[in-house]
């Protein structure tokens, strides 16, 4: 519908029913109730928390294999940092992942604190 600049504003029942094709079956004498729904976004898990858990798991497995223990130490430190960031992000409304970040921090700390064997332990000479 096009509106003219000098058109009179519509008021009352006619304001809700403009008579378009969408109201073809509506009786103009009755009031129409519209159901209002509140749509909320689902909570999102913090990406830093998920990466902290992944880095923690990989760090623990790397530390347990003797050859990759230096890599496990580096991944453990990165996992601790990401876990702390994930815990801070989990405080925000609409962001979850506190448990995931906590798990990542615990695994990363375990990977850092597990003593990596020195090369003399696995060297045959």
Name the average pLDDT for the chain. Answer: 79
Quick check: is 85 in a domain? yes
Residue 49 has what pLDDT?
95
* CA 32/CA 13 separation, integer angstroms: 10
Quick check: is 74 in a domain? yes
Residue 18 has what pLDDT?
54
pLDDT category of residue 58 using cuts at 50, 70 and 90: very high
The neighbour count for residue 47, using CB atoms within 10 Å, is 14
* CA 69/CA 114 separation, integer angstroms: 10
User: 71 with 62: CB under 8 angstroms?
Assistant: yes
- Which of 54, 46, 13, 18 has the alpha carbon at shortest distance from 32? 13
Quick check: is 63 in a domain? yes
Residue 114 has what pLDDT?
84
Quick check: is 5 in a domain? no
Residue 69 has what pLDDT?
86
| 31-38 long-range Cβ contacts below 8 angstroms, 24+ apart | none
pLDDT value at 55 more than 70? yes
Quick check: is 60 in a domain? yes
pLDDT value at 124 more than 60? no
What percent of the chain is modeled with pLDDT above 90? 43
Per the confidence metrics, is the pTM higher than 0.85? no
* CA 83/CA 55 separation, integer angstroms: 9
**Total domains present in the chain:** 1
Residues of the domain holding 80: 49-114
Sign of CA dihedral 59, 63, 67, 71: positive
Quick check: is 39 in a domain? no
Quick check: is 72 in a domain? yes
């Amino acid at each position: 519908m096009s509106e003219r600049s000098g058109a009179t504003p519509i008021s009352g029942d006619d304001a809700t029913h403009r008579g378009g094709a969408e109201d073809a079956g509506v009786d103009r004498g009755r009031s129409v109730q519209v159901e209002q729904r509140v749509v909320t976004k689902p909570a999102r898990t913090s990406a830093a928390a998920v990466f902290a858990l992944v880095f923690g798991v990989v760090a623990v497995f790397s530390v347990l294999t003797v050859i990759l223990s230096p890599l496990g130490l580096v991944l453990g430190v990165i996992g601790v940092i990401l876990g702390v960031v994930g815990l801070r992000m989990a405080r925000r409304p609409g962001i979850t992942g506190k448990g995931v970040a906590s798990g990542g921090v615990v695994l990363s700390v375990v990977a850092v604190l597990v003593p990596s064997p020195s090369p003399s332990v696995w060297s045959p000479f």
